[in-house]
Amino acid sequence: MRADARENRARVLAVARDLFAERGLEVPMAAIARRAGVGVATLYRRFPTKESLVVEAFSEQFAVCQGVMDDALQDPDPWLGLRMVIEKVCLLQACDRGFTAAFMASFPDLHSEVRDRTWLGFVALVQRAKDSGHLRADFSPHDLTLVLVANGGLSSLPAEVAVAASQRLVAYLLESFRAGTDALPPPVPLSLDLVLGQAVPDNSVGR
């Protein structure tokens, strides 16, 4: 790959990251190209589809997520680990308008091995936190998804308040998650697979 091409590719990625964070995934490819000072074709030569650009642009953030989970698993205090996972991932979500959508969009593509390993790790963390007596007994690992989806809804807020709103929401929720509170309705079996398998029927208007 030629030197100038490599530089262009890097600039495109940086611009894409910025714009996705600022405006969400619906930012047009042409806008990214213009801001990066290249033509649309250059984008499409390096990233065959918009989705591939999205995945590449967010791969760093996904790695951070992975790291957060690993750290949490190694924390001797499982309750603290759990709190950290929720707080940090929600903060990532709140700071980056495109993060949730990118996460959802690329989740099926993430190597299922990685994905399953992470999920099982979280399940174990939840169990340890319950055993330690700090996490309420009827907390379900699926509640992580619940928190993520709810917190993702905040990305419709203007950036100035999104972070503060997310922090307050998470604080409220974490307080409920602590042991010693009353019983809840049964947990929702809310796997990410379910979230992703949304039917989008009958979009073919021409029939």
Using alpha carbons, list the distances in angstroms from residue 73 to 82, 106, 175, 178.
8, 24, 21, 18
Cα 118 to its chain centre, rounded Å, is 13
From the list a copy of itself, DNA, none, which binds 1 (C-beta under 5 to 8 Å, kind-based)?
A: DNA
Minimum CB distance to a copy of itself smaller for 111 or for 207 = 207
The half-sphere exposure of 46 on its side-chain side, counting CA atoms within 13 A, is 25
According to the binding rule CB under 8 A, does residue 76 interact with a copy of itself? no
Task: Give the per-residue contact string, 27-56, with a copy of itself (x = CB under 8 A; - = no).
Answer: -x-xx--x----------------------
Minimum CB distance to DNA smaller for 42 or for 59 = 42
From the list DNA, a copy of itself, none, which binds 73 (C-beta under 5 to 8 Å, kind-based)?
A: none
3-state secondary structure of 135: strand
Q: Among residues 64, 84, 173, 179, which is the contact residue for a copy of itself, using CB under 8 A?
A: 173
Q: Residue 100 corresponds to which tokens in the numbers above?
A: 């949730």
Q: Residue 201 corresponds to which tokens in the numbers above?
A: 């029927």
- Please, which residues bridge with residue 178 across strands? 135
Residues that bind DNA (CB under 7 A): 1-5, 8, 26, 28-30, 37-42, 44-45, 48-51, 203-206
User: Residue 17 Cβ, how far from DNA at the closest point, in Å?
Assistant: 16
Using alpha carbons, list the distances in angstroms from residue 165 to 97, 99, 158, 162.
14, 16, 10, 5
Using alpha carbons, list the distances in angstroms from residue 62 to 56, 114, 118, 139.
10, 11, 12, 25
Chain positions contacting a copy of itself, by CB under 8 A: 23, 28, 30-31, 34, 104, 143, 146, 149-154, 156-158, 161, 164-165, 167-169, 171-173, 175-177, 181-182, 184-185, 187-190, 194-195, 197-202, 205, 207
